[in-house]
Amino acid sequence: MADSSNTQTQGSSRFGRYLIYTLLGLVCLYYLMPLFIMLSTSLKTLDDIRTGSLVSLPAHVTFQPWLDAWSKACIGVRCEGMSVYFWNSFRFVVPAVLISTLAGAFNGYVLTLWRFRGSDIFFSALMIGCFIPFQVILLPMARTLGELGIFNTISGLIFVHVVYGVSFTTLFFRNYYVTIPDELVKAARIDGAGFLRIFWRIILPISTPIVVVSIIWQFTQIWNDFLFGVVFSSGDHQPVTVALNNLVNTSTGVIGYNVDMAAAIIAALPTLFIYIVAGKYFVRGLTAGSVKG
């Protein structure tokens, strides 16, 4: 009696597990399908695309679309491929990510471990920044960039992304630093360390998990940004996302799906790379309490 009911539950739980795995598999397929189609299309010749079906594998694998996308494809009037814009993106994304992360760490440090009168209000005000839609700040930002003389420059894009990102990074770091005991800072003060030394020598070195979170988040946000890029830069200064759009829209008679796909993957590669390399730290960092002892 007991035995049979036992096997029954075992059987039904096994069935449940199969069901779950099947479902998960299907969902996986569904999400991987576009990537697969992009990848396989980018490796096909135009003839192959025309004759074969969307989901078929390439008849002969060719890397020509990738080479074209990288250095030959026409974007607007220039036919030099994505490479220029790809490096453009790096040139403002890397500084913007680093600066906004450092600024967030510093803000978080001050707002939790060196509270001042009104620091909570200051923090709340800063948090509103997380909810301001991009569109709202376009015009004021354009004016500001003009006044500063950095409109349509790499510095301008760095500035915009730092300003917009600092609310988020501050939030990350503040929430991480509230778990650090005040006594740590007190001990350092008695040891004779000042405000900046405590930050550099003690607080920043124990912030690795949240630094990783901030870098991944900011990198993805800024790399993938289109709107700021399209509004605040033009011509040679545009980021890769805008270039991709222009590449797809630039018609030279035949539509080169294979080149478009290769270009799209090129544009997405850095964020993919970051997730694959540092993804596990992202989850760990988001759930980490900071320091014990």
| Smaller CB separation from other proteins, 140 or 293 | 293
Least distance from other proteins to the Cβ atom of residue 277, Å? 23
Rounded Cα distance, 175 and 150, in Å: 33
Least distance from other proteins to the Cβ atom of residue 200, Å? 11
| Smaller CB separation from other proteins, 60 or 117 | 117
| Smaller CB separation from other proteins, 14 or 186 | 186
Least distance from other proteins to the Cβ atom of residue 58, Å? 51
- Spatial contact of 217 and 168, defined as CB atoms under 8 Å apart: yes
Least distance from other proteins to the Cβ atom of residue 207, Å? 10
What residues have CB less than 8 Å from 74, skipping those under 6 apart?
247, 250, 252
| Smaller CB separation from other proteins, 184 or 268 | 184
- Spatial contact of 179 and 289, defined as CB atoms under 8 Å apart: yes
Least distance from other proteins to the Cβ atom of residue 117, Å? 11
| Smaller CB separation from other proteins, 138 or 184 | 184
What residues have CB less than 8 Å from 79, skipping those under 6 apart?
72, 73
Least distance from other proteins to the Cβ atom of residue 194, Å? 8
- Tokens encoding 270: 């850095």
Which residues contact other proteins by CB under 8 A?
Answer: 181, 183-184, 186-193, 197, 201-202, 205-206, 291-293
| Smaller CB separation from other proteins, 3 or 183 | 183
